[in-house]
C-alpha cells in the first residue's frame, strides 16, 4: 500500500497547475532544443538554470527533466528529415530514419519515434519508481568512505568513456576539481585560490561556467562550422504506424526500454551508449541484418526507445544516491543544491514531495510529448528552416541575461565569457568539456566525504579499504584505469568509443 501512497503524493505535486505548466514548457523547449542541431540539452539546461532560481524546487526539477527527455525526441526529427542528429543520442537514427524519409516513409518513422519514446519513457518511469526506493534504502548503509568511493567511480567511469584521448579527459577532470574548490573552505574558513578578490569567495559559479562551456563555446563552434540544413523535401503523411510497422517494432521497443533503463543507471552509460547498443542488438537479432541502413523501422524504433528509457534510468542514482551519471544529471544535481536540497538516501524522506513529484511528472511529460509532437511535426520542420544567423544573437542574449541575473554581478558575465573562450579552445584542441563540468560539480562532494572520512578515522587512510563497499568501488575504479594496459580490451573500447 505504501507504493500507492507514494504515487498519490507524486501526482498531487505533479498535477499542480504551476507544475503542469512547467512540465509542458520543459518538454516543448526540450523538443525545440533537440530540433535545432548544435545546441544540445546540456547547453539548454545551463541556459535555463538562472530561471529556476525563481521557482519552487519541484517546478524547477520538473522543467529541467522535461527538457532532458524532450530533447531526446526532438533530435530524432532532424536525424530523419535532414540526416543531421540534433542530439548525439540520435546519431544512429540517421542510418535508417533518413533512408525511410527518402522512400516516402518519413511519417511512419517520426510516428514510431513518438510512440517508442512514449513507451520507453513510461516504462523507465515504472522502473524508476521501483528502483528508486530500493537504491535509497541500500544507500542508508553508505558512510563517508562509501560516498567518496562512489563519486570516485562515477568520475573515473564518465571520464574514461568520454570521446577522444583519455589523458585529455582526465586533465579536464583535474581542472574541474580545481575549479570546484575555489572559494571559502567550508571546514577551516580559509579562502582558497581566490586571488585576493571577494568575487571568488563564493566560488566559481556553476551557471557562468556551464553557460560558457556549453552555450558560448557551442555558438562559436557552430559559427565556424555552419551546418547545411538541407531538408529532404517529401510530404510527411501517415504518421500512425501500420500493423506491419508495429509488428516489426514491438520487439525493438521492448528490448530498447529494458536496455535503456539499465544502461542509464550506469555512470558513463546513458542515452548515447543505449542507442548505439540497441541498434547493434537489433541488427544482430534481425533475420535480415543486411537491410539495416536501408530504411528498417526496427533500426529507428529500438534506439529511439532506448535513449528515452535511459533518461529514467539516469534519474534513479541521482535522486536515490545523489550521484549524477552524465552531464545533464550533474547540472540537475547543481540545481538541487542551489535550491537547498541535498540529494541522497534521505531525499525520499525529507523531500518526499520533490522525489515523487519529479518521478510522476515524467509520466505526464511523456503524455505531453506524445500529444505535442505528433500534430506539431509541421511546426518543427518550419523551425528547422530558421537561419542560424538569426538564432546566434538570441542564444547569446540568453547567455548574457542568464549569467548576469544570478546575483546581478557583472563579474559573472566576464567569467562566462572567459569560460566560453576556454570551451572553444578545448574543442579545437580535442579536450572534452564534459569531464570538467562533471568534476566541478561532484568534486566538492568527493572532497567533503574524503575529509569527513579522515576526520572520523583520525587520519587513518585504511578506512577506505576496511569498509567492504568502499573497497569494492575503489577496486573497480582502479580496474577501469588499468584497462589500457590490456591490448585486447583497449582495442575493443577504442572501437566502441569510435562508434560514439
Q: How many domains does the chain have?
A: 1
Among 17-26, 31-40, 443-452, 475-484, the range with the most confident prediction by mean pLDDT is 17-26
Q: Model confidence over 285-316: pLDDT tens digits? A: 888 888 888 888 888 888 888 888 887 788 87
Whether 231 shows a pLDDT value over 70: the answer reads: no
Work out the average pLDDT over 235-251. 78
Q: How confident is the model at residue 22 (pLDDT cuts 50, 70, 90)?
A: very high
Q: How confident is the model at residue 500 (pLDDT cuts 50, 70, 90)?
A: very low
Q: Out of 63-67, 360-364, 406-410, which region has the weakest mean confidence (pLDDT)?
A: 406-410
Q: Report the pLDDT value the prediction gives residue 499, as an integer from 0 to 100.
A: 46
Q: Model confidence over 61-87: pLDDT tens digits? A: 899 888 888 887 777 777 777 666 656
- DSSP secondary structure string, 164-214? S-HHHHHHHHHHHHHHHT-EE-TTT--EES-TT-SGGGG-S-HHHHHIIII
Q: Model confidence over 172-210: pLDDT tens digits? A: 888 988 988 888 887 777 888 888 777 788 888 777 887
Range of the domain at 121: 2-499
Instruction: Please give the distance of CA 494 from its chain centroid, rounded to a whole number.
Output: 22
Of 370 and 148, the structure prediction assigns the larger pLDDT to 148
Q: Report the pLDDT value the prediction gives residue 24, as an integer from 0 to 100.
A: 92
Q: Model confidence over 113-157: pLDDT tens digits? A: 878 878 887 888 788 777 777 776 776 677 888 888 888 887 787
Q: Model confidence over 90-102: pLDDT tens digits? A: 767 878 888 888 8
Residue keyed to cell 548544435: 38
Of 409 and 460, the structure prediction assigns the larger pLDDT to 460
Work out the average pLDDT over 415-428. 88
CB 54 within 8 A of CB 399: no
Q: Distance (Å, rounded) from C-alpha 352 to C-alpha 72?
A: 27
Closest of 38, 10, 78, 25 to residue 315, by C-alpha: 10
DSSP state of 484: G
Whether 280 shows a pLDDT value over 50: the answer reads: yes
Q: Report the pLDDT value the prediction gives residue 402, as an integer from 0 to 100.
A: 67
- Take residue 408 and report the three cell numbers written for it: 546581478
Q: Out of 199-208, 393-402, 484-493, which region has the weakest mean confidence (pLDDT)?
A: 484-493
For residue 384, give every residue at least 6 positions away whose Cβ sits within 8 Å of its Cβ, in sequence order, or none. Answer: 35, 36, 77, 78, 81, 82, 229, 231
- Take residue 166 and report the three cell numbers written for it: 583519455
Work out the average pLDDT over 477-496. 65
CA-angle at 298, arms to 307 and 102, nearest 5°: 100
The counts of H helices and E strands in the chain are 23, 2
Amino acid at each position: 500500500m505504501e507504493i500507492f501512497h507514494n504515487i498519490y503524493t507524486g501526482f498531487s505535486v505533479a498535477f499542480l497547475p504551476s507544475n503542469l505548466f512547467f512540465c509542458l514548457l520543459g518538454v516543448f523547449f526540450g523538443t525545440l532544443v533537440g530540433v535545432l542541431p548544435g545546441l544540445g540539452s546540456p547547453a539548454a539546461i545551463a541556459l535555463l538554470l538562472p530561471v529556476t532560481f525563481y521557482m519552487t524546487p519541484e517546478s524547477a526539477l520538473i522543467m529541467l527533466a522535461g527538457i532532458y527527455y524532450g530533447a531526446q525526441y526532438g533530435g530524432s526529427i532532424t536525424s530523419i528529415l535532414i540526416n543531421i542528429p540534433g542530439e548525439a543520442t540520435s546519431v544512429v537514427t540517421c542510418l535508417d530514419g533518413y533512408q525511410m524519409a527518402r522512400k516516402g516513409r518519413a511519417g511512419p518513422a517520426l510516428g514510431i519515434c513518438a510512440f517508442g519514446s512514449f513507451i520507453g519513457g513510461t516504462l523507465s518511469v515504472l522502473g524508476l519508481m521501483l528502483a528508486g526506493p530500493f537504491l535509497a534504502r541500500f544507500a542508508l548503509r553508505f558512510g563517508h568512505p562509501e560516498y567518496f568511493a562512489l563519486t570516485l567511480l562515477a568520475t573515473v567511469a564518465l571520464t574514461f568513456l568520454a570521446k577522444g584521448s583519455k589523458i585529455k579527459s582526465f586533465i579536464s577532470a583535474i581542472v574541474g576539481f580545481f575549479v570546484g574548490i575555489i572559494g571559502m573552505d567550508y571546514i577551516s574558513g580559509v579562502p582558497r585560490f581566490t586571488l585576493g578578490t571577494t568575487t571568488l569567495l563564493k566560488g566559481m559559479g556553476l551557471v557562468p561556467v556551464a553557460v560558457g562551456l556549453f552555450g558560448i563555446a557551442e555558438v562559436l563552434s557552430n559559427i565556424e562550422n555552419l551546418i547545411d540544413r538541407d531538408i529532404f523535401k517529401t510530404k510527411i503523411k501517415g504518421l500512425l504506424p501500420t500493423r506491419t510497422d508495429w509488428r516489426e517494432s514491438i520487439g525493438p521497443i521492448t528490448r530498447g526500454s529494458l536496455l535503456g533503463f539499465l544502461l542509464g543507471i550506469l555512470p558513463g552509460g546513458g542515452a548515447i551508449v543505449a542507442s548505439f547498443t540497441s541498434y547493434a542488438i537489433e541488427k544482430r537479432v534481425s533475420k535480415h541484418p543486411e537491410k539495416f541502413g536501408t530504411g528498417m523501422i526496427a533500426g529507428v524504433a529500438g534506439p529511439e526507445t532506448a535513449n528515452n528509457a535511459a533518461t529514467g534510468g539516469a534519474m534513479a542514482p541521482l535522486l536515490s544516491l545523489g550521484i549524477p551519471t552524465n552531464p545533464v544529471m550533474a547540472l540537475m544535481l547543481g540545481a538541487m543544491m542551489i535550491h537547498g536540497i541535498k540529494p541522497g538516501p534521505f531525499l525520499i524522506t525529507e523531500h518526499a514531495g520533490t522525489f515523487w513529484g519529479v518521478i510522476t511528472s515524467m509520466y505526464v511529460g511523456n503524455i505531453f510529448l506524445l500529444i505535442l509532437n505528433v500534430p506539431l511535426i509541421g511546426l518543427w520542420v518550419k523551425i528547422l528552416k530558421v537561419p542560424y544567423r538569426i538564432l546566434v544573437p538570441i542564444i547569446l542574449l540568453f547567455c548574457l541575461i542568464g549569467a548576469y541575473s544570478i546575483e546581478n554581478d557583472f563579474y559573472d558575465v566576464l567569467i562566462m565569457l572567459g569560460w566560453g573562450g576556454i570551451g572553444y579552445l578545448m574543442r579545437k584542441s580535442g579536450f572534452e568539456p564534459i569531464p570538467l563540468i562533471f568534476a566541478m560539480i561532484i568534486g566538492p562532494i568527493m572532497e567533503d566525504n574524503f575529509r569527513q572520512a579522515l576526520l572520523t578515522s583520525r587520519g587513518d587512510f585504511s578506512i577506505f579499504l576496511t569498509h567492504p563497499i568502499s573497497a569494492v568501488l575503489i577496486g573497480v575504479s582502479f580496474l577501469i584505469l588499468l584497462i589500457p594496459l590490456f591490448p585486447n580490451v583497449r582495442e575493443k573500447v577504442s572501437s566502441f568509443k569510435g562508434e560514439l
